[in-house]
Amino acid sequence: MTSVLTLPTPRGTLTPQRSLADLTWLRVGGPADWLFQPADLEDLAAFLGALDPAIPVFPMGVGSNLIVRDGGIRGVVIRLGRGFNSIAVEGNRVTAGAAAPDAHVARRAAEGGVDLTFLRTIPGSIGGAVRMNAGCYGSYVADVLVEVTAVTREGRVVVIPAADLGLAYRSSVLPPGWVLTGAVFEGPPGDPAALALRMAEQVAKRDASQPTKDRTAGSTFRNPAGFSSTGRADDVHDLKAWKLIADAGMRGARRGGAEMSPMHANFLVNRDGATAADLEGLGEAVRERVFQMTGIRLEWEIMRVGDA
């Protein structure tokens, strides 16, 4: 365990041996050596600037796309909260804190006549959406992102243009240990009532096809092709991960308390007190079965971190 004597004293909350299970949507995972919840941007920058460079740092969002392994995470996990969830709309630009939920940003933007409706059904917060270039319905963060603010591992506050993030299919090149704190988007204009209706239709479509009432972490695996025929990084692929899983006979497959959802084969579910090992093990079994049958090795979309 990291010694308390090696850590700076922040204004925010610093908790030793904090279980992370209740902070993830799948409700699994061991403790972090330390969980840091900074009070504000200055607190975060000062803490990182004073933190021993040898201590690893893991920025954690709302845990919507994450398996924390049962042994927990060494070092400091940083989780942004109320000081990082503001949303402001000015003209066609939307400025959002990294902790702001994607759905809230979509709704506030729509109320201000800005079309960021694709964010409405994406689970998680803005920080994760930027890191993973989240998207659906043919629209992606890369299409509307102007710039982000981040704190480097050394504690410097930097503003990074979207073009420098290397946004591609479900990925970016933000250095490890850097903490995203906010983002600026510029979306096309739209009628607030029409945008609200579109979002309602998107939510209804999602709820009809995905296990939104179960403990999941969103899509488990990326669609096999990273680019469409146009060369754009998007989800318009001929091959869908859910179909490969279903065709391999793994829809509804179980391991311990983990299950591949019968409703949507690409959703890993904590059905009955699963451990992180159950969930990751089932996912690996699915990958192996699909590979044996098709020669295609599915790539995880869910991030898996920590010690087994």
d(CA 82, CA 92): 25
Contacts of 191 (CB under 8 A, 6+ apart): 113
Contacts of 200 (CB under 8 A, 6+ apart): none
Query: The tokens of 156 are what?
Result: 């410097």
Pick the catalytic residue: 125, 219, 259, 261? 219
- DSSP conformation class of 175: P
Active site residue 255: no
The sign one gets for the Cα dihedral 282, 283, 288, 293 is: positive
Class of residue 308 by CB neighbours under 10 A (exposed 0-12, middle 13-18, buried 19+): exposed
Pick the catalytic residue: 107, 170, 222, 287? 170
d(CA 165, CA 167): 5
Active site residue 280: no
Query: The tokens of 50 are what?
Result: 């004073």
Active site residue 301: yes
d(CA 33, CA 15): 8
Q: In DSSP terms, which residues pair with 101 in a beta bridge?
A: 125
Distance of CA 159 to the CA centre of its chain: 21
Pick the catalytic residue: 186, 284, 299, 301? 301
- What positions carry a catalytic annotation? 170, 219, 301
